[in-house]
Structure 1
């Protein structure tokens, strides 16, 4: 199996683990691996009327996973999230950006409100 295929498989497993964690915490999973013209959103979930865009990072440790969510990547995710919100007519709902880090064999770590975005400025 090629390195890219192995990374893809690891990523899918990490996203599945993240979905299970979110489900157990009471989130409703709306979409996984949602493609927009601006890029892919790992997980789109909802809880208490809030839309939550979750970036999943699988690395050797939590620090490396957090470092992998760069400023450039956050901006891409924000644009993709805004596109998703517009396409699903959810612009009036509040939203949040979370990160779930996966560093086997440790339990996943859910970081709520990992960053703030000024989406109104993008409209």
Structure 2
């Protein structure tokens, strides 16, 4: 597995533990719909939370959350629409980003709730 893929998978594991520790219930990991993949679908209270995990080894080229592009956002919206319909859910949906910088110096986690409103 390429080093960046391994870092990404480790980032998703870290994000899941982080969310569970904050009281979230993880419903799905790596949910796929057509060509889209949602890293994490979680629930807190009556809110379905779509979580995009961005992991980098350095912030030198920008913050991890800066790498979520409009086309990816559109793709995530389509995928979660399908998930909500498929599971016949009636809940508010929120889109979050968990940005992780992980390297020899340690791990820094930033959780941006309602992240797509910031774009």
TM-score (norm. length: structure 2): 0.87
Q: 1:28 aligns with which of 19, 22, 25?
A: 25
Correspondence for 1:94: 92
Matches within 5 A, 1:41-52: 41-52=38-49
Aligned length: 112
Unmatched runs of 5 consecutive residues or more in structure 1: 117-123
TM-score (norm. length: structure 1): 0.84
Q: 1:54 aligns with which of 37, 40, 51?
A: 51
Correspondence for 1:120: none
Once superposed, what is the RMSD of the aligned Cα atoms?
A: 1.6
For residue 38 of structure 1, report the CA deviation from its aligned partner: 4.2
Kindly provide the CA deviation profile for residues 53-75 of structure 1, in whole angstroms up to 9, marking residues without a partner as x. 00000122294312110111111
